[in-house]
Amino acid sequence: MPKFQSTQIHEFITQTCEAMGSAQREATLVADQLVEANLAGHDSHGVGMLPSYVDGVLNGRLQINSHPTVVVDNGALITFDGNAGYGQVNGFEAMQAATERAGEYGVAVVGLRNSYHIGRIGHWAEQCAASGYASLHLVNVIGHPPLVAAYGGAEARFGTNPFCAAVPGRNGRPGFLLDMATSIIAAGKARVAANKGVKVPPDTIIDADGNLTDDPNAFWYTDPSGRRGGALVAFGDHKGSGLAIMCELLGAALLGGETAHPKNARDGRIINNMLSVVIDPGAMGNAEAYLDEIEAFRDFVLESKLRADCDQILVPGQPEDVAREQRAEGFEVDPVTVDQLRNSAQRAGVSESVVRETFG
């Protein structure tokens, strides 16, 4: 597969967004997050998302040059409406407010509702950690047919509904970072697998007949009416399914946001709602003792004897660190996604010379 430098892809994303009218700051925030997702090993949330953003802007579903507006302000508790603007802007500005309030009050509870796709949630936990704050985030996903079946069901009823939590370490890096979909695999990973022509892990998808499969195309199948026939499987049986439901209720309904119920159809928009709790470790106790404790605990976990079928132990956040090291010289993008990026850039009004310069 072709390999690209991160700066090369960053410039391409920036120019594509600017061609559709985004201000430079907005375009840069979008490019920052998408490229960082690829560098962290999460291609499902990287540059491959750009075609859906182009489609959203051109169809009037994604509002450019928009900023979150405050709808509730009770000191340590704030709720923003994202106004269907870029999630990269909404998430960044909401987390800016969250860390400012956590610095003032010791904790901040921040709701962000009605935002366009906010991308890799770990990006927002990393933003908090870089300022020295712990955080947890519950997110729901709406705006297209539901993606994931409830435990025991064969039809999708909610989104991949991510859960994320991070604690800061020294030097502005997360001490630990857990960022996961509540489905076994994210929808974007099924998209990447389908584009590459490869299978997904066994029993991660339910086909239209209710059977478990490893065929990513079974997830994208639609019947003659346009209704999706496949669904993703929640992780951990009833546990992942239950956590996804709580993300709907706490991450959306509690904020005045919408759940995945079909009465809230969004005509193809990718809408996220997110509840974030941001905590100043120094307000809870001794910050230096906290840092010593998480480092000691990390060592204790990693020094464990290996399970017979495993060759290493990874704590939350390490897979991303490993990916960043491996991708420091660039990352691969599959040919199908490259074609999608070319086409979307042309639709956005990017010059043919820029497209050729990027992709050849």
- Do 250 and 120 reside in the same domain of the chain? yes
Q: What is the pLDDT of residues 298-311, one digit of tens each?
A: 999 999 999 999 99
Please answer whether residues 324 and 122 qualify as being in contact, where contact means their C-beta atoms are separated by less than 8 angstroms.
Answer: no
At residue 186 the predicted structure's pLDDT band, cuts being 50, 70 and 90, is: confident
Residue 325 lies in a domain: no
- Do 132 and 250 reside in the same domain of the chain? yes
Which CATH number characterizes residue 44's domain? 1.10.1530.10
Is the pLDDT confidence value at 201 over 70? yes
Mean pLDDT of all residues belonging to the chain: 94
Per-residue model confidence (pLDDT) at position 328: 94
Rounded to an integer, the average pLDDT of 115-120 is: 97
- Do 172 and 303 reside in the same domain of the chain? yes
The widest CA-to-CA distance across the chain, in whole angstroms, is 61
- Do 75 and 174 reside in the same domain of the chain? yes
Is the pLDDT confidence value at 168 over 90? yes
Per-residue model confidence (pLDDT) at position 108: 98
- Do 307 and 343 reside in the same domain of the chain? no
Residue 217 lies in a domain: no
At residue 324 the predicted structure's pLDDT band, cuts being 50, 70 and 90, is: very high
Which CATH number characterizes residue 92's domain? 3.30.1370.60
Per-residue model confidence (pLDDT) at position 226: 59
- Do 22 and 171 reside in the same domain of the chain? no
Rounded to an integer, the average pLDDT of 123-145 is: 94
How far apart (Å, rounded) are the C-alpha atoms in residues 252 and 234?
A: 19
Is the pLDDT confidence value at 93 over 80? yes
Q: What is the pLDDT of residues 212-262, one digit of tens each?
A: 999 998 987 666 665 667 899 999 999 999 999 999 999 999 999 999 988
Residue 224 lies in a domain: no
Is the pLDDT confidence value at 348 over 80? yes
- Do 55 and 76 reside in the same domain of the chain? no
SS3 26: helix
Residue 194 lies in a domain: no
Domain that holds residue 40: 1-65+330-360
Per-residue model confidence (pLDDT) at position 224: 64
Per-residue model confidence (pLDDT) at position 12: 97
- Do 18 and 135 reside in the same domain of the chain? no
Residue written as token pair 């003792």: 289
**Residues 6 or more apart whose Cβ sits within 8 Å of residue 251:** 137, 138, 139, 140, 161, 257, 273, 274, 275
- Do 307 and 356 reside in the same domain of the chain? no
Per-residue model confidence (pLDDT) at position 222: 62
Residue written as token pair 């009050």: 105
**Nearest in space to 240 (alpha carbons), one of 232, 252, 230:** 232
- Do 28 and 94 reside in the same domain of the chain? no
Q: Quick one: 196 exposed, middle or buried, by C-beta within 10 A (0-12, 13-18, 19+)? A: middle
Rounded to an integer, the average pLDDT of 42-59 is: 96
Residue 196 lies in a domain: no
What global pTM score does this model have?
0.92
HEC string of 196-230 equals: HCCCCCCCCEECCCCCEECCCHHHHCECCCCCECC
- Do 178 and 131 reside in the same domain of the chain? yes
Residue 94 lies in a domain: yes
Per-residue model confidence (pLDDT) at position 227: 63
Lowest mean pLDDT among 85-89, 185-189, 332-336, 355-359: 185-189
Rounded to an integer, the average pLDDT of 288-303 is: 95
The number of domains in the chain is: 2
Type of residue numbered 67:
H
Residue 264 lies in a domain: yes
Rounded to an integer, the average pLDDT of 123-134 is: 97
How far apart (Å, rounded) are the C-alpha atoms in residues 89 and 135?
A: 19
Residue 340 lies in a domain: yes
- Do 3 and 128 reside in the same domain of the chain? no
Looking at per-residue confidence, does 3 or 360 come out higher? 3
